[in-house]
Amino acid sequence: MANVGQTEARPARPAADRVVLPRWLRAAGQTHGAVIALLLLVLFNAIFTTNYLAWSTLRVNLDQVATIVIVGIGMTLVIATGGIDLSVGALMAIAGSLAPLIFDSDWGPLDRPWVGIPLAIVLPILLTGFLGLFNGFLVTYFRIQPIIATLVLYLGGRGIAKALSDGILLDFNNPSFEYLGKGRPLGIPVQVILMAILLLIAAWMMRSTVFGRYILATGGNEPAARLAGVPVSRVKLAVYAISGLLAGLAGLIWAARISAADPYRAGEFMELDAIAAAAVGGTALTGGRATIIGTLLGAVIIQQVRFTLISHNVSDGTTRIVIAAAIILAVLIQRQREQ
């Protein structure tokens, strides 16, 4: 399975009876199923969808995929340790609901925009990061299975968001904050830039840092990793915290884009989109094998399937069925390649 986190150069040694491809080509080849699927989707749309190749269409597509990818990065790290994080959608709602309480507050220094806006970004992210740490705490110290541990905030998190916003959809009008979801420096959406930066950092981290290697060792064989001195509990705490931080950021982007705090709809089904992106991209749900770039590919594919169907007026129900079928197909293809 592709491990784009491991793309260091290595000399290709020709074997006696087969041609050894250069490593970059093999890495691409390992995800080729996903790449081909994406190319087919693009080709189909280029021919049959009006205005598909327009810059504005591309921007809309990137716009929509950015939050999935940002959450998907954290999800990929968690899955790489052999865990899963169901709480990300609820954490997005919490971050989105907390932010307007801060920048709309008349209390003391918060009233000043240069204090209120940065705090409205930093504090919600810190809070969701802290809640991610709580997930990690349940998983490591209480040894609760990740799916159950994160189910706690999946269910409870939206309750917190509703309490924060008094259970109503809260519209706001704050151009400075909304820049996070609507800003277009150099014509590129802010969240796309954030996504790109986070992707680069995460891919580099997986490849080159001790922490990145510890993540894969923990997911690959936890008892062995512990006996080799890997601080597995700290590694797990860290990935859940990172997943929480990234979910918080995605929640702020989501709120900024629609100019509202919506405790019900913000980040709805995001956990499933993020897991699907990772799975389609080639990250093994059993842990130990993960690819950040694959998650990007996976997210783009799922988004493109959705876009294609919607722009051809296929009903929402059918769209979901098609996406489900695409996920099964992608996972089956990867299974084949593994054997």
Given candidates 13, 142, 166, 313, which one binds other proteins under the rule CB under 8 A? 13
Q: Report the residue number, 223 or 317, with the smaller CB distance to other proteins.
A: 223
* Tokens read off for 268: 């709805």
Q: Are 249 and 125 in contact (CB under 8 A)?
A: yes
Which amino acid does the sequence have at 21?
L
For residues 294 and 75, give the distance between their C-alpha atoms in angstroms, rounded to a whole number.
12
Asked if 158 contacts 93 with a C-beta cutoff of 8 angstroms, the reply is: yes
Stretch that binds other proteins, among 56-64, 203-211, 249-257, 316-324 (CB under 8 A): 203-211
Among 115, 193, 211, 319, binds other proteins (CB under 8 A): 211
143: contact with other proteins by CB under 8 A: no
Interacting residue with other proteins among 227, 317, 336, 339 (CB under 8 A): 227
Q: Using the rule CB under 8 A, is 306 a contact of other proteins?
A: no
Amino acid at 127: L
Least separation in angstroms between residue 102's CB and other proteins is 32
Spatial CB neighbours of 85, under 8 Å, sequence gap ≥ 6: 74, 75, 78, 132, 135, 146, 150, 240, 243, 247, 271
When binding is defined by CB under 8 A, the residue of 210, 313, 317, 336 that contacts other proteins is 210
Question: SS3 of 293, please?
Answer: helix
Closest approach, Cβ 218 to other proteins, in A, equals: 9
Residue 68 interacts with other proteins (CB under 8 A): yes or no: no
Which of 9, 47 has the CB closer to other proteins?
9
226 binds other proteins (CB under 8 A): yes
Q: How many CB atoms lie within 10 A of CB 201?
A: 12
Please, what is the minimum distance in Å from the beta carbon of residue 210 to other proteins? 5
User: Helix (H, G, I), strand (E, B), or coil: what is residue 261?
Assistant: strand
Q: What CA–CA distance (Å, rounded) separates 99 from 309?
A: 34
Taking the complex as a whole, the smallest distance from the CB of residue 142 to other proteins amounts, in Å, to 18
Tell which one of 77, 225, 261, 323 touches other proteins (CB under 8 A).
Answer: 225
In whole angstroms, what is the distance from residue 264 CA to residue 255 CA? 12
The residue ranges that bind other proteins (CB under 8 A) are 1, 6, 8, 10-11, 13, 15-18, 208-211, 213-214, 216-217, 220-221, 223-231, 284, 288-289
